[in-house]
């Protein structure tokens, strides 16, 4: 049985890679044809983005910008093929080399940003972990006084009761 991944940034990396794959495909082809894909094509692009994101979060070396460039490039290529398969035509006047350069630039910059964000996430989580796990001095123990019931009366009550006489004046003098 394999051990579960403990990389806290893997899910963030996968989410960012999947979202960037879908955003680049939709934006680039929206600019090329003037309309964003809708319906089943949008759902297929979402499935493609989820697949690329899942790969980015589970591949061991996906934190390397070169691997991210490969994943994002594969996502762009598959997205382009998917849009071409359903009849998405390019109506812009941009030459293919310029379109290719725009895709490559977006993929490289996106991969570098995702890798940088992952490093920052790792550094921040280590800092938070260090601050939270720092040992604080223990609070001093509070002295507690317990009062328990006593079957003997207070000493002052005993002295008062002993000083009172129960004897009164003679009966004949009282009349």
Q: Which of 99-108, 109-118, 141-150 has the lowest mean pLDDT?
A: 141-150
User: pTM above the 0.95 mark?
Assistant: no
State the pLDDT at residue 1: 46
Q: Which residue has the tokens 């989410």?
A: 15
| Tokens (6 digits) for 82 | 């998917």
Give the integer Cα–Cα distance in Å for 39 and 79.
15
Of 30, 79, 87, nearest in space to 50 by CA: 79
Cβ within 8 Å of residue 81, ≥6 positions away = none
Helix (H, G, I), strand (E, B) or coil at 95: coil
| Contact assessment for residue 88 and residue 37, using Cβ atoms and an 8 Å cutoff | yes
| Contact assessment for residue 21 and residue 75, using Cβ atoms and an 8 Å cutoff | yes
State the pLDDT at residue 149: 62
pLDDT, tens digit (0-9, with 9 covering 90-100), for 51-90: 999 999 888 888 888 999 999 999 988 988 888 777 666 6
């Amino acid at each position: 049985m394999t051990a579960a991944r403990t990389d806290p940034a893997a899910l963030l990396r996968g989410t960012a890679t999947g979202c960037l794959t879908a955003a680049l495909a939709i934006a680039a082809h929206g600019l090329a044809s003037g309309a964003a894909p809708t319906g089943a094509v949008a759902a297929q692009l979402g499935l493609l983005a989820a697949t690329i994101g899942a790969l980015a979060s589970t591949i061991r070396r996906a934190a390397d910008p070169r691997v991210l460039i490969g994943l994002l490039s594969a996502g762009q290529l598959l997205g382009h093929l998917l849009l071409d398969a359903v009849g998405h035509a390019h109506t812009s006047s941009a030459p293919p080399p310029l379109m290719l350069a725009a895709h490559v630039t977006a993929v490289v910059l996106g991969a570098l940003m995702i890798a940088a964000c992952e490093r920052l996430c790792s550094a921040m989580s280590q800092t938070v972990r260090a601050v939270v796990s720092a040992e604080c001095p223990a609070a001093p123990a509070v002295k507690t006084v317990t009062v328990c019931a006593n079957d003997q009366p207070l000493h002052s009550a005993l002295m008062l009761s002993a000083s009172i006489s129960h004897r009164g004046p003679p009966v004949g003098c009282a009349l």
